[in-house]
Structures are given as structure tokens and as C-alpha cells.
Amino acid sequence: MQVSIAPERGEDPTSIPLVKKRELSQLVRLASTLALIQVGYHLMGLVDTALAGRVGGETLAATGLGSAVFFAVTVLGIGLMLGLDPLVAQAFGALQPARARAVLSQGLYVAALVSLPLSLLILVIGALLPRFGIPPSLASLTYDYLLGRLPSLWLLLACVASRSYLQAAHRTRPVVVAVVLFNLVNFVFAWVLLFGDAGLRRIGVGGLGIEGFGVSGLAWASSIATFGQFVFMAAVVGRGTAPAADGRGLVRPDATTIAHVFGVGGPLGLQLAAETGVFALVGVLMGRMGTETMAAHQVALQLASITYAATLGIGAATSVQVGRAIGRGDVAATRFAGLAGIGTGASFMLATATVMWLFPSVLARLMTSDVQVIPGAARLISIAAVFQVADGVQSVAAGALRGAGVTRYSFVANLIGHWAIGAPLALTLAFGLGLGAAGLWWGLSAGLAVVAAALALRFADISRRPIARL
């Protein structure tokens, strides 16, 4: 998906207007595709939530809590893989495709190194859920969900690494195909494994002697779909799909490059852990408030996650464009790509905020038929509308900084915003002032606003001058 805009006769190809025109065109095309891809990834969770909501509040709550715990830990590995973004994008910008492919290979070794400890951590947290006040039946179902998701952990990280490589090469079509297939496979297996023969009879298919596996079925469906995506993307990258890629297959582990990946991606992993961890904490606290409250939280969170996913795509495109501009030493393009991306993310989230604010109950009914859950979900969706713009700005600004290789600052900003400000305020509002679930969400909103301001201002500052390549 390479975009090229030739200068008109007599026009300076390095002029600021032409730089802006070229960068905006590439950014919009890449962002629209990557936003679609990110929404596709999150659609799996939305589908799981919608299906679980048709079974009952406890199944819905277990799916939400299990997913929150799984990703609260897995984001440490995902952050490491996102550390490939600036390394690969800057290599392509500097016309060094062999370097980009070598970084990808080392990234896969990093994924293997961290998968085992992350898996063990997930199991430990799952076993300790009753100690956090989660009702025994809900804790048991959640643990079953986690067991079904564990086989997909390394596969998921490998897919993130492959996506970083392909998007930096401006080759996103294979990723789109993979996501479409990923969702189709997940839906089919989720339907069959969740409902069993009862589900097959609903769509006019005779019984196959399959009993519904409930929450475990949803988890295994996700793992099966992730495996299919991994096989497809591995085949694409292995055939050298990216333009001018040199070499085939994996290279031997290189300690220097692996250390570099950890150095760039480590703070990103901690950043995502800080952000996701606070949401996971809120999920656990929601679980202590009761199954219906947890289910309402899950409904609202999944809807907010879909809109957030779109800004993740915009942020990924911004990261690519900033990284490639730094790779070729273009200061004007670097600054414009980052600021244009942040503005695009804010504009998109303003539109989604309007929809959430006007139609919260309608959106809640799309996700669950439980009349005990809908009112609470609608209240939380209205609060989600308030923090949409801040969520979009912080997501894209983080992408811009990631493209520049500035990851430690992003981690510190998230740590302060979410844990020093957002979490204490959420606890005070929820329990000190008695606002309950709404108080937890208002605290999260404040934390997001602080992070958004800190990251956007940081990029605006560093992009005024040349940024060194990694």
C-alpha cells in the first residue's frame, strides 16, 4: 500500500506544503486500513461478549473477567512486540529492508522468551481470584476461561510482531485478510463450542453429539482462531511479502538485537501493563460488587474497546509514518505525521462520543438481553462517551512517540496518570463517596485525560527538532 505523490513541474519536492500533502495522504490511507484491522481484532471480544450475554450474567461476567486478566498480563509481551514498530519502520525509512527482517526474527525469539513466565503468571492470578473477593462460582468459570486462552499466548505475540513488520512495509492487505478469517473462524467455533448441539439446531443444522462447553468453549475458540491467523501470517512473511525483503526464514538469535528490542519494547510493555492493569483492577472491584455490575461493566468496556481499537490503528499508522520520516531524516514530515495523527484520532473519537451519549440504552441492548444488566450498562456507556476524546488522543500520541522511539516517558506518564491520579480518585469516588461502578469509571476518565495531555505535549515538544534514529 505504498502511496506516492509526484511533485508538479517546478515544485520543490522538499517544500512544506508538498510534505504535508504527501504525509497526510499516506497517513489517512494507512490509518484507515490499520483502524479496520484493530477493530477486527477487538471484534472477537465483542462477539464473545454478545454470545456470552445470551447465556447469562455469570457467563458474561466470567468472560469479561477472564479476558481482563489474560490481557492484563499478556500486554507485557504485546508491548515488547510493539517495540519492533520504531526499529522496523526506521529501517524501512532508511531503505534497509534486510535490517527490518532481522529485527522481526529477533522479535520472535523475544516472544518465545517471555511466553512461559507470562503463562505462569496468568495461572497464579487465576488461582488467587477467590482471595480478591470474587465469588467462588465466578472465579471457577474465570479460571476455566484462562486455561482455554493460554495456548494462544505465544501465537498472539508472534502475530503482533508480524503485523508490525508488514505495516511498516506498507503491506497491510495480508493482515486484513488474516483478521477477516480470524473473526470468521472464531465466530464459528465460539458458536459451536459455547452452545453445542443446541446452537447447531438454532441455525438448522442437525446435532453432532456436541455438548456446550460454556465459557471454556469461548476461550478455546479464540485459541483456535489465533492459531489459524498465525499460520496464515507466517506463510505471508515467510514468502518475503514485504518489498525488497532479504533472506528467508529465521536467523540465529542475536543478543545485541534482542537486548535492543527489550530496551525499546520493555517500557512499552510496562506502559500497557500500567494502563491495562488499572482496568483489570477495576474489573476485579466490579466483580466484588456483584455479577450484574460486572456484566454491565463488561458490556460498556467492550463497546469502548471497539472505538479505542480504531484509534489504536490510527496510532499504529502514526507510529509507522513518524518512524519512516525519522529514518530518512525528514524533520517536517516527522512533526506533521505525529500532529496530524493526533488530530485524526481526536476527531474520530468525538464522533463516537456523540453516538454513545445519545444512544446508551440502544447500544446496551445490542450487547445483552438481560434486563437486570441493561440499565447499569447504559449508565457506564454514557460515562465512556465523556472520556472518548482523551482516550483517542493518548492512544495516537503514544503511537507518535513510539515511532520516535520515546517509550520510557510514555510509561512514566501512564504510571502517574493511571495509578497516582486515576486509581486513587476512582477508589475515593466509588467507595468513599458511594458512587459505586460510576465512580470507578469517572476515576478512569480522569487518569486518561492526564495521560493524553502529557503524551501529546511531549511529542509536540520533541518534534520541533531532528530526532535521532534508533
Query: What is the DSSP secondary-structure string of 303-325?
Result: HHHHHHHHHHHHHHHHHHHHHHH
* Residues above pLDDT 90, as percent of the chain: 41
pLDDT band for 379, please (50, 70, 90 cuts).
very high
Q: Write out the residue range of the structural domain in which residue 361 sits.
A: 16-462
Q: What is the pLDDT of residue 278?
A: 86
Q: pLDDT (tens digit, 9 = 90+) per residue, 243-263?
A: 434 444 457 888 888 998 999
Per-residue pLDDT, averaged over 360-384, amounts to 87
CA–CA distance, 265 with 111 (Å, rounded to integer):
11
pLDDT confidence of residue 356:
92
Does 3 fall in a domain? no
Query: Per-residue confidence at 62, pLDDT binned at 50, 70, 90?
Result: confident
Distance CA 202, CA 222 (A): 22
CB atoms within 10 A of CB 304: 23
Question: What pLDDT score was predicted for residue 199?
Answer: 62
Q: Does residue 208 or residue 95 have the better pLDDT? A: 95
For residue 387, being part of any structural domain is answered with yes
The mean per-residue pLDDT over the stretch 178-200 comes to: 81
Q: Which of 37-51, 287-301, 405-419 has the highest mean pLDDT?
A: 405-419
pLDDT of res. 452: 95
- pLDDT class for 197, splitting at 50, 70, 90? low
- Any domain includes 1: no
Q: CB count, 10 Å around CB of 466?
A: 12
- 434 in a domain, yes or no? yes
Residue closest to 423 by CA, chosen among 248, 277, 305: 277
**What does the mean pLDDT of the chain come to?**
85
Give φ, ψ of 180 to 5 degrees: -60, -50
**3-class secondary-structure state, position 205:** coil
What's the rounded mean pLDDT across residues 122-149? Answer: 90
Q: pLDDT band at residue 413, thresholds of 50, 70 and 90?
A: very high
Stretch 147-155: mean pLDDT, rounded? 94
Residue 7 resides in a domain:
no
Highest-confidence range of 72-81, 149-158, 244-253, 363-372, by mean pLDDT?
149-158
Confirm whether 468 is domain-assigned: no
Backbone angles phi, psi at 265, to 5 degrees: -85, -25
Residue 260, CB-side half-sphere exposure with 13 Å CA sphere: 20
Answer whether residue 148 is part of any domain: yes
CB–CB of 27/317 below 8 Å? Answer: yes
Highest mean predicted confidence (pLDDT) among 9-23, 53-67, 256-270: 256-270
The predicted structure's pLDDT at residue 19 = 62
Q: What are phi and psi of 196, to 5 degrees?
A: 65, -145
Q: Which of 234-243, 327-336, 368-377 has the highest mean pLDDT?
A: 327-336
pLDDT at 240 over 70: no
pLDDT band at residue 198, thresholds of 50, 70 and 90?
low
Beta-bridge partner residues of 196: 211
Q: Give the chain's domain count.
A: 1
Q: Is residue 179 part of a domain?
A: yes
pLDDT band at 5 (very low <50, low <70, confident <90, very high): very low
Least confidently predicted of 229-243, 290-304, 369-383, 421-435? 229-243
Greatest extent of the chain over all pairs of C-alpha atoms, in Å? 74
Residues 6+ apart with CB under 8 A from 378: 360, 361, 363, 364
Contact between residue 369 and residue 53 where contact means Cβ atoms under 8 Å apart: yes
CA distance 414 to 448: 8
User: Lowest-pLDDT range, 129-133, 182-186, 192-196, 444-448?
Assistant: 192-196
Residues 372-387, mean pLDDT to the nearest whole number: 90
pLDDT value at 14 more than 80: no
